[in-house]
Chain A
Amino acid sequence: MDVSRRGFLATSVAVLPMRPRQLSVSCTLAESNRAFGEQPPRLPQARVKHLVESAAGYEAEDLSWLNEHGIQVGQSVPVQSPAWIRYTWPTDALIRDFGRACPVAGGRVIARLGDMPVAVRRGRFIVLGSPLGPHLYAGDRDAHRLFEAFLRSSL
């Protein structure tokens, strides 16, 4: 195939946005790192999304950088287990709590624990105040379904 230099450059520019990872995941818990690492992004044409998972107080972490993006993650609160986080976006799902959860504010609420918002989306960010990774790691069906929906979702 004969490709001119101009054509080659044009193609490269068009392809470039597809090449970075489609999902950047920030999480603190070791289990979450392993679990999210096993989940290959499925949609190569999707733009980059940032999934931020709080460790809910189990590990020291600083999520104050999210303030620059208009999102606030509060101090973790203990949860009377067993209780379930009720997700309403991008799909309905019930995910077991992880003993503690952080209230999250500053975006469209996508999950609540009782009345407390514990996950939001805003711009390219999805911020979880209750760990999802350990449930992926444990093979929870709803957690996998939810994560796949995150990958498919358009932000």
Chain B
Amino acid sequence: MKKSIGDTLIPRGWSLEQGLTLIRKAGYDGVELWLGGQPWFQMETTDAQVRELRRRVEDAGLAVSDVANTLDWDVPISSRDPAIRDKAARHIIRQIETARILGTDAILVVAGLVTEDTPYNEVYQRTVDNMRRLAETAAQARVRIGCENCCSEQKFLLSPREFHSFLDDVNSPWVGLHLDVGNIHDTGFPEQWVEINGPRITRIHLKDVLRHRGRCGDQSVYTNLFLGDNNWPAIRTALEKIRYDGWLVAEMESRYRYAADQQFYDTSAAMTRFIEGRL
């Protein structure tokens, strides 16, 4: 397994070069680039600029683990508004295009967003339909779309079997699960998500979770690796069971108040222990 971390975690005010140097120095193998998340990677970024972005990543001794986006929450593929759905399809297609340019074979999307106004049954069918369409583009580019489990935030696909059924309905090897082991919170157990969805997992986000806080409070439920309630030995063994050997991507919500770069080193060390099974 290889270690990666999102470019959205690069401390505010740091340049891309400073961030990439830190990521490499802290022992990561790659970086997850977020379309829409940083000035260096926006919808307006041209192909030539994306190629230049790849060169800068590689010059730092890193690879791009996958292409995520920050846009799905405001522009969901499951919207009732066809104009918004078209816009969402455009940014997902752009992710696929840039993934090719950046030399990676996976993207992350938040597929489907249930709200009070957009009920589950509508979201489900629309998301399946749109993922089927996008799967054709993904297949041509040989890039896998990983739908992230944002469980409670999405109010959608809350259990591992539900996600499995969803992927059955999409019915494409080019659409899978980008598993976030921190997002499951009190709705289940990440090791069971791993076992049930096995080879359909495209990438894995790592963070820990504080279940006792509940989701309705004003404090984040997410925390750094090994500080929360995830059963890391169980997750590690489940990954061994499914023979997962792909990218692990650190995705922290809260940053260190002081010495922001220290979080990169601490997280990298924790990931190494996780990979080596020293838990």
Contacts and interface: CB of A to CB of B under 8 A. Distances in A.
B58 interface: no
Nearest to B164: A139
A103 B241 CA distance: 22
B241 A84 contact: yes
A117 to B, nearest CB: 19
A96 B195 CA distance: 10
Interface in A130-148: 140-142
Contact of B191 (A82, A140, A141): A82
Name, among A82, A83, A96, A140, the residue most crowded by chain B CB atoms within 10 Å (CB to CB): A82
A140 B238 CA distance: 12
A48 interface: no
Contacts of A140: 195
A35 interface: no
Contacts, number: 15
Interface of B: 189, 191, 195, 198, 231, 234, 237, 240-241
B229 to A, nearest CB: 14
A145 to B, nearest CB: 11
Contacts of A142: 241
Chain B interface mostly:
helix
Interface string A109-144: 000000000000000000000000000000011100
Interface residues of A, number: 8
Contacts of B237: 83-84, 94
A136 to B, nearest CB: 14
A101 to B, nearest CB: 16
15 contacts: A82-B189, A82-B191, A82-B231, A82-B234, A83-B234, A83-B237, A84-B237, A84-B241, A94-B237, A94-B240, A94-B241, A96-B195, A140-B195, A141-B198, A142-B241
Interface in A79-93: 82-84
A118 B106 CA distance: 40
Given A82-B234, A96-B195, 12 more contacts: A82-B189, A82-B191, A82-B231, A83-B234, A83-B237, A84-B237, A84-B241, A94-B237, A94-B240, A94-B241, A141-B198, A142-B241
A97 to B, nearest CB: 11
Contacts of B231: 82
Contacts of A84: 237, 241
Nearest to A84: B237
Contacts of A82: 189, 191, 231, 234
Sorted nearest first, the 4 A-B pairs with minimum C-beta distance are: A94-B241, A82-B234, A84-B237, A82-B191
Nearest to A140: B195
A96 B189 CA distance: 14
Nearest to A139: B196
A84 to B, nearest CB: 5
Interface in A4-26: none
Nearest to A141: B198
A141 B198 CA distance: 9
Interface in A56-104: 82-84, 94, 96
